[in-house]
Amino acid sequence: MVITRDLAPPAADVASYRAVRDLTESLASPLSPEDQTVQSMDDVSPTKWHRAHTTWFFETFLLLPNLPGYEPFHPDFGFLFNSYYEAVGSRHPRANRGVISRPGVEETAAYRRYVDEAMARLLLRSEPDPDLASLVELGLNHEQQHQELLLMDIKHVLAANPLRPAYHRELEREPETWRPARYLPRPGGLYEVGHAGDGFSFDNELPRHEVKLGDYELADRPVNCGDFLAFIDDGGYHRPELWLSDGWAMVRANGWNAPLYWSGDGESSVYTLGGPLPIDPSEPVCHISYYEADAFARWAGGRLPTEFEWEAASTELGDGHRFSPDWVHPTGGGPHPGGTGQVWEWTGSAYLPYPGFRPAPGAVGEYNGKFMVNQHVLRGGCVATPPGHRRASYRNFFPPGARWPFTGVRIARDPEPTAAR
Amino acid sequence: MVITRDLAPPAADVASYRAVRDLTESLASPLSPEDQTVQSMDDVSPTKWHRAHTTWFFETFLLLPNLPGYEPFHPDFGFLFNSYYEAVGSRHPRANRGVISRPGVEETAAYRRYVDEAMARLLLRSEPDPDLASLVELGLNHEQQHQELLLMDIKHVLAANPLRPAYHRELEREPETWRPARYLPRPGGLYEVGHAGDGFSFDNELPRHEVKLGDYELADRPVNCGDFLAFIDDGGYHRPELWLSDGWAMVRANGWNAPLYWSGDGESSVYTLGGPLPIDPSEPVCHISYYEADAFARWAGGRLPTEFEWEAASTELGDGHRFSPDWVHPTGGGPHPGGTGQVWEWTGSAYLPYPGFRPAPGAVGEYNGKFMVNQHVLRGGCVATPPGHRRASYRNFFPPGARWPFTGVRIARDPEPTAAR
Amino acid sequence: MVITRDLAPPAADVASYRAVRDLTESLASPLSPEDQTVQSMDDVSPTKWHRAHTTWFFETFLLLPNLPGYEPFHPDFGFLFNSYYEAVGSRHPRANRGVISRPGVEETAAYRRYVDEAMARLLLRSEPDPDLASLVELGLNHEQQHQELLLMDIKHVLAANPLRPAYHRELEREPETWRPARYLPRPGGLYEVGHAGDGFSFDNELPRHEVKLGDYELADRPVNCGDFLAFIDDGGYHRPELWLSDGWAMVRANGWNAPLYWSGDGESSVYTLGGPLPIDPSEPVCHISYYEADAFARWAGGRLPTEFEWEAASTELGDGHRFSPDWVHPTGGGPHPGGTGQVWEWTGSAYLPYPGFRPAPGAVGEYNGKFMVNQHVLRGGCVATPPGHRRASYRNFFPPGARWPFTGVRIARDPEPTAAR
Amino acid sequence: MVITRDLAPPAADVASYRAVRDLTESLASPLSPEDQTVQSMDDVSPTKWHRAHTTWFFETFLLLPNLPGYEPFHPDFGFLFNSYYEAVGSRHPRANRGVISRPGVEETAAYRRYVDEAMARLLLRSEPDPDLASLVELGLNHEQQHQELLLMDIKHVLAANPLRPAYHRELEREPETWRPARYLPRPGGLYEVGHAGDGFSFDNELPRHEVKLGDYELADRPVNCGDFLAFIDDGGYHRPELWLSDGWAMVRANGWNAPLYWSGDGESSVYTLGGPLPIDPSEPVCHISYYEADAFARWAGGRLPTEFEWEAASTELGDGHRFSPDWVHPTGGGPHPGGTGQVWEWTGSAYLPYPGFRPAPGAVGEYNGKFMVNQHVLRGGCVATPPGHRRASYRNFFPPGARWPFTGVRIARDPEPTAAR
């Protein structure tokens, strides 16, 4: 698999469109038709559904309204591949995506080619239209989100198989050196947060506004597996005083005693998209829920940073992002060890609208705002986030119990903490 | 698809083995890898699971104990493809069969070829062994059961797809003439029931024994769709006095108002393996639960026959069986209109051991006896039952709420009924 | 508490009516208003509900149709205290009986007095009416059933309390001598079963009819706690080969490892209505499901008797019944040690209609027939069965997983068993 | 029932202790033993549990550590009446509180008297201890919270009864005049929020800190029933575009089409603690979830205020609080029509720690912090909040789906809204 590593943020031109669309197909290419059909839990979607749904977005929001004479590829795909846009009509229940064997992967590929050909015609029309260009950009960013979802979903699918098959075997792990985390002191004050400039952003990153922060400290690297093993060894999963009440209920109901995908004697093995590997203490811990991130922080004498503390400090942290689906396990290394972009980092901030937030008008406005409850913000991006799809103001979000995304954590603390560890 | 229609009951020889095994592959042949992967509810198994599980039976019970030097095809398939044999070790949870994408259909086919080649060697050994021959017969009858399960399961899978795709399109429906049912009078007395003779039977058909029956009457044909439409039109699904208490709870909890797979305005369409078709009043009604069969019988002024009333009368009813996977919807016609073998006919008998019943020793003894609670007996066979797999003493069984098998009903009544309809 | 121990079978006269009605109140008398309000699981009804529902029966089926000018005590009690009679109108959901605090126990007692006074007027009218007398008899037998339900339900309620309070403390246990069970040989042949004679019976005991039995043997006493401890010590709850498939699933889902109400180190204590007591090996084992009865029988080299084998042998077994709510734990002693009437004995027979069964016409016909699926027959009566409410043809029934009734088992076997124990 | 309406904030003296404890008993006094036993859903606790649990708090945290020679009233009450303090040991499952009939109301009253007598001795000791005084204050504030819970819980219990009984009948409704809401303009800037001064506060109101607010507008009265009827009439419950995604799922799963306790033709009746009453358009709408509050705000062209916007404006809004358990339905009138304290007002703020938050040390520290996820903040107090238990910095919190508390909403908006209504 060859991946262009420095793809620019997608723009509304044919080259950018093709690059994004090709990456999706490249990500699906190691997977059999059977692999692409399975839904291993309600939150997971089959690979072929991701491939079709991202295509449906262009068909529904770009081609049908804007390309005269365009005929839908199939009359029922609007029903099958709508994810949650209530304004666009009824839809197939999410939990049943895995009981749909047809269209199969071949017909799905044909659907993609059909829409891509029409999109090329639309994009090559002489007269440029800024509204349409915005929608194309949104569609490409939407597809990039689904590229990451595709990887985290197929990881869950394959891990559910007792054979623990690999998505891809070309995995070379680079040696790391473990080093202790240091806390960077950060001064309080008024900070501007939110997206700035002309480039693309999602509506939930706006408006840019001022927040008041107190003094705080932020760790210079994410929590790594070694840190987390110490938490486990210290009885972390058996001490209710470390947990939020809802988190403790989850621990007991689900028998959690380690991050998702850890297994083996003494939890010595971790399932990766390259198959099972020994746990490397220097790698960022991944696949933990908000509850586990929060309990770890409390155990460590710290707390989770707010999303604004994170954003205000982000340039100081360095960029450790490295995308490669051959290498879809976070590493502690890369260009900036400890930098952002290895794991999505849970913040203590609930996912809520910024002051003055307005969703985009029309059906695409159902994109972000309607999920602003019962979720927490994550920042930074991860090893599965496509190039060009990250920025300091980017707000990812998941419910606090989610563990199948590539989720980790970086610890903050107040100056002069009373309890140091 | 070419099916040998008059296949003899399977015997422990290479030709018989091949014929049964080939039929399984033939039944799977119209299905894509995606189709063969899906599990649409807990009771349903994916097609590729059926293909592998029947193979596992021969590997586990025949090859490993009896063929010196035999190496299992894959070390983990024993875990993956055990269905419920507790004595053989742990097993993959039934409800999770649909989250396993691998082995895929190609590896499954290779598994079948590998085992078939070894079985050929075992069957061609010079010295014959009656115990081994019995086990081979059991394995082939087991595979025939799974052929029927494969068809009823894939029907449920495909019907769950809003596109309502067909398993196979080569469907020619034969015109029928509707005729009213007549009740055949049957004298009471002592009757021998259970399997007789030297041929193969399952352990649950033994021992043959005497039962005392009173006088009774039995309909000369199964209830057909026209009869059932009259029941519906008369408010059958809305009159609690017609239903068993558990049945009425099912009706309300699930919103039942017609047999499974009926839909459309006025329930005018039925989903078949050939796709949606208009309902033909002269065809036997199919895909009804025990509760619906029982409520219909009460509405009609009759009752369900016991399994012994059915067996004692079976020769009088004629054989209406006709197997063809091209034609997997019951018809009212065939060689003996109204005869047995079109739909499995619910009886009023709970599935219980015969007096003196002894399960076979060893793991294969887990075959029938352990299910003898919470099920009712069905008799006769259906359009999906392979040739050579039916006999008058055959006891099929399902829980009373099951609707996805090819289940219908034939009405009995006591002489001089107080309420005739 | 003073209980008349030799109450005759209830008849349609004022004395009999009063005796039955008074016994209900006597059974409720040790219970506080709080005790009488609780519903500890869906199957259990609050004591005050039993007291009101049995009263509702007389009001609905006797007084309203037959006593001119009768005014219902409360316009909404018809809705609140209907149990399952669909023909009489809608009703309060069973699972919500415990969320109804009003009417409280005082208003319930007033309801009973009001109806009793009206019933006295009805019963003292000059002209006797056989149909009405039959309904009164039915109502009294119905109330006797609820007297037993009241005791088994309040036992479940009180046992759910960590304080393990006693229903009644006046408990004197009589010493028992343990003795091994012996198998009584019984000849096969044609037997008449079902209710005979003019006395009261439920409709499900009719018609009397002939059945063919083979030779069999039946234990001369129920399985006792000592026997069951040996089963447990031999790994009975951990050996899947001993269990029906559904039973094994229940064992694992619910963590069963002993009869209901056993607890303590080595399961040395049993909760009784007199509070926790040491387990007495000579007492009949009680509070076991059909699955446990069946697994025990298989372990012991026997099987469950059919209900007809039980009925045909019943006179030979002797009557060990002794009713006293002071003494609501089965004992191995009494007038006929090993006799029937100490625990309800599971049989291998599914609860199904007898040949020619006809439910009573009208709403009271919803009494027994509508439950004839998914249940097994128990015979004999138990320590909580009121005097006058037992006979050899009596068919009690419960779902196979029920453990809160006073359920035990007596083992049968075929002559010359292959595996004796 | 006589209620002291102007009770001061509770202090650690005998008079204050008695006043708070007496109010609890006064609130329970109209309820029968049966009423006090019922738990109508998992979130609700029985009245007698509230009475015992608040007593347990004093026994566990005050008497056992501080009163030499104190003997617990009952050895098992520590287990039965612990609510969620993990540090104090194991506890009875919350969902099972309603299956415990004993201790009954009389023993519960005796428990209260026993503890009260000991508390009097403790409080009258010569040497004052500030730590102990703080704990007493906490215990009294804790009991006040349970007074409100007692009322909202018993309302749910009684409403579950088809008879719709009243808690108390002495209800005089005062006539109201409906008036349109006006938006008060509020300037942005830096504001101090959180508890100030020496008086009692919960730990979650601290530390006081600065926040940056933009300009905003806040309605001068809560949304009333007339407003909400207009929302319903405009299809509010049937328009997904108005709802958060999780909210829409709740609407559909639960069939919500009006606030909790509304019923009747055209939703013309509302169940109150005084029994069913006609809906008064001028009364604040009550018993709505966060989702309904949010959907209403979107429909009205506004949004929910943040908790800080609410707090910063609170003095401007006036105090409309009026406590009387005779009058436990919010009214639009009172001393300050439109003022705070009639219904708890949902805010858009997730319930999260303030910067620098530290829970109290020890078991009582499990009070507030462990619930800081999956909840939203409500402000203001309600008609069931005891006198002396409200302040501008008070942070109440519930999950967004909760409807059984006395929850309402006040709308905010940004200046110059694009969509006015």
Convert the pLDDT of each residue in A271-298 to its tens digit. Answer: 999 899 899 899 999 999 999 999 999 9
Confidence of residue B7 (pLDDT cuts 50, 70, 90): low
**Mean pLDDT in residue range D88-97:** 86
**Is A33 touching B (CB cutoff 8 A)?**
yes
Establish whether chain D is in contact with chain B, requiring a minimum of 3 CB pairs below 8 angstroms.
no
What is the reported pLDDT for C367? 78
Q: Tell me how close the Cα of A293 comes to any Cα of chain D, in angstroms.
A: 13
From residue D229, alpha-carbon distances to B154, D178, D252, D302, D396 in Å are 50, 13, 19, 17, 26
pLDDT digits (tens, 9 = 90+) for A238-269: 999 999 999 999 999 999 999 999 996 666 89
Residue that the structure tokens 């070790």 belong to: B89
Q: Which residues of D touch A253 (CB under 8 A)?
A: none
* C contact test, residue of D101, D106, D157, D404 with most C CBs within 10 A: D101
Residues 128-157 of C with CB under 8 A from B: none
What is the reported pLDDT for B294? 98
**Is C246 touching B (CB cutoff 8 A)?**
yes
Whole-angstrom Cα distance, residue D213 to residue B356?
Answer: 84
Q: Give Cβ neighbours of residue D242 (< 8 Å, ≥ 6 apart).
A: D236, D295, D298, D299
Q: Does position D278 have pLDDT exceeding 80, yes or no?
A: yes
Q: Which residues of A touch B99 (CB under 8 A)?
A: 38-40, 98, 157, 160-161
**Lowest-pLDDT range of A159-173, C178-192, D272-286:** A159-173
Q: Tell me how close the Cα of D92 comes to any Cα of chain A, in angstroms.
A: 14
Q: Which residues of C touch D156 (CB under 8 A)?
A: none
What is the reported pLDDT for B329? 74
**D86–A240 CB contact, under 8 Å:** yes
What is the reported pLDDT for A324? 74
Q: In chain A, which residue's Cα lies nearest the Cα of B44? A: A99
What is the reported pLDDT for A125? 87
pLDDT digits (tens, 9 = 90+) for C375-396: 999 999 999 999 899 999 999 9
- Say whether the ipTM exceeds 0.90: yes
Choice between D335 and C110, residue whose per-residue pLDDT is larger: C110
**Mean pLDDT in residue range C355-381:** 89
A397 close to A378: Cβ distance less than 8 angstroms = yes
Query: By CB neighbour count within 10 A (0-12 exposed, 13-18 middle, 19+ buried), where does D215 fall?
Result: middle
Q: Does position D5 have pLDDT exceeding 90, yes or no?
A: no
pLDDT digits (tens, 9 = 90+) for C212-251: 999 999 999 999 999 999 999 999 999 999 999 999 999 9
What is the reported pLDDT for C5? 42
* D contact test, residue of C49, C82, C99, C153 with most D CBs within 10 A: C99
**Mean pLDDT in residue range D19-26:** 96
Q: In chain D, which residue's Cα lies nearest the Cα of C39? A: D99
Confidence of residue A420 (pLDDT cuts 50, 70, 90): very low
Question: Tokens at residue B213, please?
Answer: 């029956």
Q: For the range A123-132, what are the long-range contacts, defined as Cβ-Cβ under 8 Å and sequence gap of 24 or more?
A: A123/A12, A123/A13, A123/A14, A123/A17, A124/A14, A132/A12, A132/A62, A132/A66
Count the helices and strands in chain D (H runs, E runs).
10, 12
Whether the ω angle into residue A355 lies within 30 degrees of 0, i.e. cis, is: no
pLDDT digits (tens, 9 = 90+) for A384-403: 999 899 999 999 999 999 99
**Is B76 touching A (CB cutoff 8 A)?**
yes
Choice between C82 and B169, residue whose per-residue pLDDT is larger: C82
pLDDT digits (tens, 9 = 90+) for B335-385: 677 899 999 999 999 999 999 999 877 777 777 899 999 999 999 999 999
**C80–D162 CB contact, under 8 Å:** yes
**D244–A373 CB contact, under 8 Å:** yes
pLDDT digits (tens, 9 = 90+) for C28-85: 999 999 999 999 999 999 999 999 999 999 999 999 999 999 999 999 999 999 987 7
**Mean pLDDT in residue range D334-358:** 91
Percent of chain D exceeding pLDDT 90 equals 75
Confidence of residue B110 (pLDDT cuts 50, 70, 90): very high
The size of the B-C interface in CB pairs under 8 A is 82
pLDDT digits (tens, 9 = 90+) for C149-205: 999 999 999 999 999 999 987 656 666 667 889 999 999 999 999 999 888 999 999
From residue C312, alpha-carbon distances to A161, B112, C145, C354, C408 in Å are 55, 54, 24, 16, 19
The size of the A-D interface in CB pairs under 8 A is 82
pLDDT digits (tens, 9 = 90+) for C327-349: 667 766 666 778 999 999 999 99
**Is B316 touching C (CB cutoff 8 A)?**
no
E strands in C66-199: 183-186, 189-193
Q: Tell me how close the Cα of A239 comes to any Cα of chain D, in angstroms.
A: 9
**A162–B33 CB contact, under 8 Å:** no
What is the reported pLDDT for D1? 39
pLDDT digits (tens, 9 = 90+) for A330-348: 766 566 778 999 999 999 9
Q: Which residues of C touch B86 (CB under 8 A)?
A: 240-241, 248
DSSP-derived 3-state class of residue A88: helix
Percent of chain B exceeding pLDDT 70 equals 92
Mean pLDDT across chain B, nearest whole number?
91
Confidence of residue B239 (pLDDT cuts 50, 70, 90): very high
Choice between A57 and D168, residue whose per-residue pLDDT is larger: A57
What is the reported pLDDT for C6? 46
What is the reported pLDDT for D241? 93
Helices (H), D88-203: 105-124, 130-159
**Is B291 touching C (CB cutoff 8 A)?**
yes
Choice between A65 and D3, residue whose per-residue pLDDT is larger: A65
Return the closest-CA partner of residue B338 out of B231, B218, B185, B193: B218
| CB nearest to A86's CB, from D84, D190, D241 | D241
What is the reported pLDDT for D325? 67
Choice between A324 and C51, residue whose per-residue pLDDT is larger: C51
Confidence of residue B421 (pLDDT cuts 50, 70, 90): very low
B262 close to B279: Cβ distance less than 8 angstroms = yes
Q: Tell me how close the Cα of D311 comes to any Cα of chain A, in angstroms.
A: 16
pLDDT digits (tens, 9 = 90+) for A92-123: 888 899 999 999 999 999 999 999 999 999 99
Q: Which residues of D touch C158 (CB under 8 A)?
A: 101
What is the reported pLDDT for B56? 97
Query: By CB neighbour count within 10 A (0-12 exposed, 13-18 middle, 19+ buried), where does D76 fall?
Result: middle
Query: By CB neighbour count within 10 A (0-12 exposed, 13-18 middle, 19+ buried), where does D93 fall?
Result: exposed
Whole-angstrom Cα distance, residue C67 to residue C20?
Answer: 21
Whole-angstrom Cα distance, residue B121 to residue B112?
Answer: 14
| CB nearest to B157's CB, from A101, A105, A157 | A101
Q: Which residues of A touch D214 (CB under 8 A)?
A: 209, 355-356
| Residue D186: strand pairing partners | D216
Which CATH code is given to the segment(s) A183-413? 3.90.1580.10
B305 close to B412: Cβ distance less than 8 angstroms = yes
The size of the A-B interface in CB pairs under 8 A is 96
What is the reported pLDDT for A129? 87
pLDDT digits (tens, 9 = 90+) for D107-157: 999 999 999 999 999 999 877 788 899 999 999 999 999 999 999 999 999
What is the reported pLDDT for D403? 98
Q: Please state at what angle helix C290-299 crosses helix C225-233, rounded to 10 degrees.
A: 70
Confidence of residue B172 (pLDDT cuts 50, 70, 90): low
DSSP-derived 3-state class of residue A394: coil
Q: In chain A, which residue's Cα lies nearest the Cα of B41? A: A99
Q: Tell me how close the Cα of D105 comes to any Cα of chain C, in angstroms.
A: 8
**A246–D214 CB contact, under 8 Å:** no
pLDDT digits (tens, 9 = 90+) for A75-98: 999 999 998 777 777 888 888 999
Return the closest-CA partner of residue D331 out of D293, D284, D288: D284
**Mean pLDDT in residue range C400-411:** 98
Whether the ω angle into residue B222 lies within 30 degrees of 0, i.e. cis, is: no
Choice between A3 and C158, residue whose per-residue pLDDT is larger: C158
Whole-angstrom Cα distance, residue A414 to residue A216?
Answer: 5
Whole-angstrom Cα distance, residue A158 to residue A169?
Answer: 13
Q: Which residues of C touch D42 (CB under 8 A)?
A: none
Q: Which residues of A touch D303 (CB under 8 A)?
A: 353
Q: Give Cβ neighbours of residue A98 (< 8 Å, ≥ 6 apart).
A: A37, A38, A39, A40, A46, B38, B98, B99
Residues 166-195 of B with CB under 8 A from C: 190
Mean pLDDT across chain D, nearest whole number?
91
What is the reported pLDDT for A195? 96
Chains that touch A (3 or more CB pairs under 8 A): B, D
**Is B34 touching A (CB cutoff 8 A)?**
yes
Mean pLDDT across chain A, nearest whole number?
91
**Is C162 touching D (CB cutoff 8 A)?**
yes
Q: Which residues of B touch C215 (CB under 8 A)?
A: none
Chains that touch B (3 or more CB pairs under 8 A): A, C
Percent of chain A exceeding pLDDT 70 equals 92
What is the reported pLDDT for C8? 64
Cα Rg, chain A, nearest whole Å: 21
pLDDT digits (tens, 9 = 90+) for C242-280: 999 999 999 999 999 999 999 966 668 999 998 998 998
DSSP-derived 3-state class of residue D105: helix
From residue A140, alpha-carbon distances to A386, A388, C412 in Å are 11, 11, 73
Confidence of residue C350 (pLDDT cuts 50, 70, 90): very high
Q: Tell me how close the Cα of C103 comes to any Cα of chain D, in angstroms.
A: 9
Choice between A336 and B13, residue whose per-residue pLDDT is larger: B13
Q: Does position B29 have pLDDT exceeding 60, yes or no?
A: yes
| CB nearest to C102's CB, from D79, D101, D161 | D161
Whole-angstrom Cα distance, residue C68 to residue C292?
Answer: 52
